[in-house]
């Protein structure tokens, strides 16, 4: 267990923990059958079905080890006005303390098969010893990887330079546009009224400060401006000849998960929701500075659920990286400019490990990227946050062209299509920049 659990127990008498549940073989087989059938029918997984497969008796056995506490972070959040007009977080906390009609103190994420809650020393010891628990870890604390530059811009009547750099426009000419693929997008949300995005939304969710969905189908909006930009790069529609989306017919399952509140609860809620929406790709420009294994189990869970995790590596320069973008299990993305150079801000790091020793895995257009701006119009941003959605869009194109291929097949085709940038050290770019046409040929071969 991470030292931060011990630190919290010492300081507050309680600690927030993330509990990974074991899955009995019979339950795993039944769960896989439901997930497979749901995917084939393009019908979202009903969370209650998966929750029953976790086994209600397991959840009820474990919930008694969690508690609400006046010294917990959740209590502090619930005591003030939480995100969303309905104040769901405060109502949850009040009900959790109601002895006549209690609510479990732990949050349950059925599609991920994990639980999040507050425990004291006795509760922690009981969870660690439980035969139903695979692991107990400290929840990671993540933050948005903000762009290094934001400027006003006008979109040209053309493809953006990033789309042309990846040769995604050549796949568009073949009729490969991402149709039928759902891309998970966890960010600051997106402006659903923007002309380039209003027809790109498969589903949208907002989570309050305690990680509860505030409204099942709220009007899509951006709590910042970051999410609208990244969403536009993934799947923005072509408007008046201005083509900003790498996969302009893919659909987005987008949720507001950052910043503010219990960030990990909101991100977990978003991840669980994205899996339930049948997304096959998850694009996240979020991270923890430096290397921590806290998010590793969650990244592994995503891959096990058939979701390709595509994460930004960070904007802190050479010799730095962000978790989970620096995991071998993630497809990590650094930035390149139109000048075919890796910008100074793009993070990169060499690890002492036999598998995937260099991050990022590749680089993609991340300088002077024009995409959608909340309220209409366009703006230009720099950052690995801008490079990441380019690769998410590329993956969507390949999945739409070859829908039976696995996420491992898609990832390998992208990797093998890469060409190194001349004059740049391998430690800064790893494989280089991918080629959409070559990746499709490799996938089909």
Give the residue numbers annotated as catalytic, written as ranges.
187, 226, 385
- Do residues 219 and 240 lie in contact, with contact meaning Cβ atoms separated by under 8 Å? no
Q: Which of 22, 23, 54, 20 is nearest to 136 (CA)?
A: 20
* 252 Rama sector, left if φ>0, alpha if ψ -120 to 50, beta otherwise: beta
Q: Can you read off the two tokens belonging to residue 59? A: 């959840």
Cα 148–Cα 153–Cα 155 angle in degrees, nearest 5:
120
Within 10 angstroms of residue 403's Cβ, the number of other Cβ atoms is 10
Residue 243 backbone dihedrals phi, psi, to 5 degrees: -105, 105
3-state SS, residue 396: helix
What's the rounded Cα separation, in Å, for the pair 150 and 324? 25
Q: Which of 402, 415, 404 is nearest to 443 (CA)?
A: 402
DSSP single-letter state for residue 295: G
Taking the mean position of all CA atoms in its chain, how far away is CA 223?
Answer: 17
What's the rounded Cα separation, in Å, for the pair 441 and 428? 27
Beta strands in 313-377 (DSSP E): 322-323, 331-336, 349-350, 358-359, 362-365, 369-372
Strand order from edge to edge, sheet including 286-289: 143-144, 286-289, 322-323
| HSE-CB of 35 using CA atoms within 13 angstroms | 22
What's the rounded Cα separation, in Å, for the pair 171 and 372? 22
Q: Can you read off the two tokens belonging to residue 443? A: 């996938």
User: How distant, in Å, are the alpha carbons of 71, 336, 353 from that of 300?
Assistant: 32, 28, 17
């Amino acid at each position: 267990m991470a030292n931060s659990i011990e630190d919290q127990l010492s300081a507050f008498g309680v600690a927030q923990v993330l509990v990974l549940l074991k899955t009995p073989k019979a339950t795993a087989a039944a769960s896989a059958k439901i997930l497979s059938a749901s995917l084939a029918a393009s019908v979202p997984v009903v969370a209650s079905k998966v929750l029953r497969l976790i086994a209600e008796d397991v959840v009820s056995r474990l919930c008694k080890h969690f508690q609400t506490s006046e010294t917990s972070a959740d209590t502090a959040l619930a005591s003030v006005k939480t995100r969303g007009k309905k104040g769901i977080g405060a109502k949850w906390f009040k009900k959790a303390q109601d002895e006549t009609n209690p609510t479990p103190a732990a949050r349950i994420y059925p599609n991920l098969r994990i639980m999040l809650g507050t425990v004291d020393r006795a509760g922690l010891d009981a969870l660690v010893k439980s035969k139903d628990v695979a692991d107990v870890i400290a929840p990671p604390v993540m933050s948005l990887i903000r762009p290094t530059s934001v400027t006003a811009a006008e979109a040209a009547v053309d493809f953006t330079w990033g789309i042309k750099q990846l040769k995604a426009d050549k796949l568009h000419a073949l009729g490969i546009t991402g149709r039928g693929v759902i891309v998970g997008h966890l960010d600051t949300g997106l402006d659903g009224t923007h002309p380039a995005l209003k027809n790109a939304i498969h589903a949208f969710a907002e989570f309050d400060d305690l990680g509860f969905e505030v409204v099942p189908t709220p009007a899509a909006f951006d709590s910042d401006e970051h999410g609208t930009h990244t969403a536009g790069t993934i799947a923005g529609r072509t408007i008046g000849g201005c083509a900003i989306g790498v996969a302009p017919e893919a659909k987005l399952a987008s949720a507001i998960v950052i910043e503010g509140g219990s960030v990990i609860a909101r991100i977990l809620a978003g991840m669980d929701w994205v899996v339930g929406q049948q997304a096959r790709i998850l694009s996240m420009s979020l991270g923890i500075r430096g290397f921590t294994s806290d998010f590793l189990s969650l990244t592994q869970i995503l891959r096990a659920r058939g979701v390709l995790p595509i994460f930004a590596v960070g904007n802190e320069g050479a010799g730095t990286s962000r978790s989970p973008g620096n995991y071998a299990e993630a497809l990590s993305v650094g930035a390149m400019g139109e000048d075919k150079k890796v910008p100074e801000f793009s993070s990169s790091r060499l690890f002492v490990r036999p598998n995937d020793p260099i991050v990022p895995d590749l680089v993609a257009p991340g300088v002077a990227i024009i995409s959608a701006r909340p309220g209409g119009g366009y703006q230009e941003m720099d950052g690995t946050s801008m490079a990441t959605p380019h690769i998410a869009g590329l993956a969507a194109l390949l999945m739409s062209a070859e829908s039976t291929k696995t996420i491992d097949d898609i990832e390998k085709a992208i990797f093998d299509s890469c060409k190194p940038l001349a004059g740049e050290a391998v430690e800064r770019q790893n494989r280089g920049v991918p080629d959409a046409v070559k990746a499709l040929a490799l996938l089909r071969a």
